[in-house]
Structure formats: structure tokens, C-alpha cells
Amino acid sequence: MNPRIEVVALDCLMLRLFDEIAEANMPWMLAASERLRAVFGEQLIDLVPSYTTLMVHYDLTALSPSQARELIAEALIDLSPNAQTAGQCHVLPVWYDLSVGPELSLLAERSGLAVDEVIRRHSGREYQVFALGFAPGFAFMGLVEEVLAAPRLNTPRKKVAAGSVGIAERQTAAYPVVSPGGWNLIGRTPAKLFDRNRDGYSLMQPGDTVRFEAVSHAEFVNLGGDDTPLEAQA
């Protein structure tokens, strides 16, 4: 860990803890988040975690930039991961099928694996939620096996169905709402990832973990999934 403080705005500082994305970062990020919330108290307006950074938005009428820096330094004293701050583990059912995941065959071709093996490998590990962004409830997760990594599409789709599961580089995610998108789609989940009536709105939060579970078409539909082919929704 190599902590640095960077200026984002008059009332925002960025605490950079790491230089590279890694699953091992998250316990430290969660511990730092907990400490920052404690030392800033009501003077903290917002705290935005990402892969390697924490953006601290503070009340400029109550704290000067130098005082904010001092509080950040205080939060880092004897910092250590706390096992009790571990997030929830979510199991998301996924119907892996070419009609809703057209890049399944592309990933199989790129990796030299059969489609069934791509599915087995993607659903065979637990992923860390690193950050939320792009769209409400959109959780950036990783890391997928290197053999499954694939660049974003050269031309993003104008419309991606809610629940679509995709891969971009070594990240994976599920689209919470209908939106444009350039990820490689491999399936669809019926899970409700964004809910205005849910505390925090998003099903997943940074620090949580996710496991994708392959289900049949019948199970997917029974769980409320929309099986309309992607092309028909465009």
C-alpha cells in the first residue's frame, strides 16, 4: 500500500491507496472507508470507493483542505483489514445462451475453449465487487480468468437488456437497467440489481462478492427473467 492524497475539487480529496487493481486490495479499502467515515463524522458529505482509490467529499464550510488532509492521515494510522467488514456474498442465477449472450461463441473462439467450458469457468469462481458506476446498480467485478478476458466491442450497442451479463477485459458485470453498452454479453440474470425502494438502491456494494450460477431456460423464466432475444430488443 502506497497512500497518496490528490486534489479533485475544492471540497474533494482523492486518497489513492494502490496503483494496481487486485482482489487483495479490497480488505484495505473497506478498512480505510470505515476509518474515514469515523474520523470525518458529519463533516463527510460522500465517500466514493473505487478499485484503488477513495474519493472524500467533505463539508468545506466546516473543514479547511488542510484539516481534511489531517483527518485522512489520522484515519490511516495503524490501518489494518478487519474481517468483520467483509461484504455479503450474492449468488446470481444466469441463463447462458447465444440468444441473450451473443459473444459466448466469440469468447469460446478467442480462448480455444468450448462454449460449455466458457460457461463453467465464468460461473466457477467468486468475484469481488470493486466499484459501482456507469449506471445505477452497475457493479464492476473481477477478476475473470485471463483466458476469458476480452476487449470491449469496437462499436457499443445502443441498447443492452437489463440483466445482461458481460465481460470486458478481466472484469465482469450485469447490466441493472436497459442502457447502451460495449461489453461482451454471455448471458442474462433475472436478479433485480437496482431498486429505488432498496436501501442503497443497488443489490451489490463494494466489498461484496458475487458468484454466477448457471440455470436452465425454464428456471430463468420461472425466476422472472425476460428471455426476449437481444436482437429483438434492439
Q: What confidence score (pLDDT) does residue 232 get? A: 62
Q: What share of the chain is helix, strand, coil (3-state, %, to 5)?
A: 25, 30, 40
pLDDT band at 209 (very low <50, low <70, confident <90, very high): very high
Q: Is 65 left (phi over 0), alpha (psi -120 to 50) or beta?
A: alpha
Give the count of beta carbons closer than 10 Å to the beta carbon of residue 99.
16
Judgement on whether residues 108 and 72 belong to the same structural domain of the protein: no
DSSP bridge partners of 166: 173, 185
- Specify whether 32 is located in the same domain as 103: no
Q: Are residues 13 and 28 in the same domain?
A: yes
Are residues 52 and 116 both part of a single domain? no
3 CB-near residues (< 8 Å, 6+ apart): 15, 16, 17, 76
Q: Which of helix, strand or coil describes residue 199? A: coil
Is 90 exceeded by the pLDDT of residue 25?
no
What confidence tens digit (pLDDT) does each residue in 39-51 have?
999 999 999 888 8
- Looking at 63, 85, 107, which one is the last position of a domain? 85
Distance between CA atoms of 138 and 73, rounded to whole angstroms?
Answer: 31
Of 67, 85, 103, which marks where a domain is finished?
Answer: 85
Sequence letter at residue 138? F
End-of-domain residue from the set 53, 85, 117: 85
Domain count, the chain: 2
121, 186: one domain: yes
Q: Could you report the per-residue pLDDT of 114-129, keeping only the tens digit for each?
A: 999 999 999 999 999 9
